[in-house]
Amino acid sequence: MDSATPTLHLHWRAFGDPHAEHLLLVHGLGSSGADWAFQVGPLAEHFHVLVPDLPGAGRSPAPTQHSIAGYARALLAALDRAGIERVHLMGFSLGGAVALELALQAPARVRRLMTINSLPSYRADTWRKRWELHGQLSLVRVLGLRNTARMVATRLFPHAHQAAMRTRVVDVFGMQSKQNYLRQARALAAWCARARLDQLEVETLVLAAEHDYTPLAEKQAFAKRIGAQLVVVRGSRHGTPFDSISATNTAALAFFRGHALPEVLFSDKPESVPLSPPEILAALQ
C-alpha cells in the first residue's frame, strides 16, 4: 500500500443538511476544494456537500508517495471516520480519475458518479497525451508554477470576459507546492483503469467540454463502454465548472436527483459570467 493510506487525515468542509444524501466533490490537478466555489451553494440546497482537499493539495498533508489509488483510499478513510456509508461522487479532471478509482474500489459506497473532462486513463500512450504531459511538466520545472499558470490560464480562459478566471488560476496555482504538483501529475500519468471498466457498477454521467484538450471522441468511447450518459457542453474548454457554471450545476442537480438531462448544454454567455467568486469561496480556502 502506498503512503496515501487511510491514516492520512484530509482537510475537508461540509455544507448543507447533514441528513440529506451526501455528495462528494473531488477537485482537479494543482488546485483544491476551492475548484467548486460556484457549485457548492446550489448543490447544498439539495445535498450534504463534502469538499475535501486531496493529499498534498490545499490544507491536506502530502503523502510520501502519490497515486490515484492512494488518493481514493484516503477519501474512503475520510468517509469512514465521518461515519458516511454512501455518497454521490463528482470529479473534475484529475478528480474524475480519483472518483472513478473510488467507485471501482468500493462500488457499494457510491450512489452515482459524474465525471467532468476526465478519462479512464492518462498514460502517455498517444502523441497528444505525451505532448500534454511532458510539455506541462517541463514548463513547471523551468518557469515555476506561477509563470506556467499564466500560460495555462490563457489557454483555459482566452476570452476578454474571462479575465477574472485567468487571475484566479494564477492565484490558485501559485499557492501550490511545485513538488506536490509534479508528483500529482506523475501519479495521474501512471494511472489507468481501462482494464477494469467492465467492473464498474455505478450509474455514471460523463460531462465533456466541446473544446477540452483531451479528445471528445475518447470521452464518447469511455461513456459508450460503460453505458454512461454523455452530455457535451458546447463552447466550453477544460475549465467547465468555471466557464460553464450554469451547465455544470444543471447537469449535476438533474443527474444526482434522477431527473432527465439534455444531450447538449452550453457555456455561460459573457453577460452572465461573474466578475468575482461567490462569498462561499472564503470557506473553501
Q: Is residue 140 part of a domain?
A: no
pLDDT averaged over the chain?
A: 91
What is the tens place of the pLDDT at every residue in 37-50? Answer: 999 999 999 999 99
Non-local CB neighbours of 120 within 8 Å, separated by 6+ positions: 97, 100, 192, 193, 194, 197, 222
107 inside domain: yes
Confidence of residue 1 (pLDDT cuts 50, 70, 90): very low
Q: Which residue did the predictor score with more confidence, 281 or 212?
A: 212
Structural domain count, the chain: 1
Given this model, what pLDDT does residue 177 score?
A: 85
pLDDT in tens, 231-259: 999 999 999 999 999 999 999 999 999 99
Residues 6+ apart with CB under 8 A from 271: none
In the predicted structure, residue 282 carries a pLDDT above the cut 80: no
At 103-112, the pLDDT tens digits run 999 999 999 9
Half-sphere exposure of 273 (CA within 13 A, CB side): 22
Report if residue 154 sits inside a domain: no
106 lies in a domain? Answer: yes
pLDDT digits (tens, 9 = 90+) for 254-273: 999 999 998 899 999 999 99
Residue 285: per-residue pLDDT = 66
147 found inside a domain: no
Give a yes or no: residue 174 inside a domain.
Answer: no
CA distance to 127, 167, 180, 245, 250, per residue, from 209 (Å): 21, 21, 27, 12, 14
CATH number for the domain harbouring residue 45: 3.40.50.1820
Adjacency order of strands within the sheet including 22-26 = 12-15, 48-52, 22-26, 87-92, 110-116, 203-209, 229-234, 264-266
State residue 280's pLDDT score. Answer: 64
pLDDT at 92: 98
Percent with pLDDT over 70 in the chain: 95
Q: Which structural domain, as residue segments, surrounds residue 250?
A: 12-121+192-284
pLDDT of residue 176: 83
Domain annotation covers residue 71: yes
Q: How far apart are CA 138 and CA 177, in angstroms?
A: 16
Which of the four pLDDT bands, split at 50, 70 and 90, describes residue 2? Answer: very low
More confident call, 124 vs 75: 75
Whole-angstrom CA distances from 78 to 53, 199, 212, 261, 268 are 11, 24, 31, 31, 34
Region 78-102 average pLDDT: 97
> Which residues share a beta bridge with 147?
none
Please name which of 92, 96, 140, 89 lies closest in space to residue 121, comparing C-alpha atoms: 96
In a domain, 50, yes or no: yes
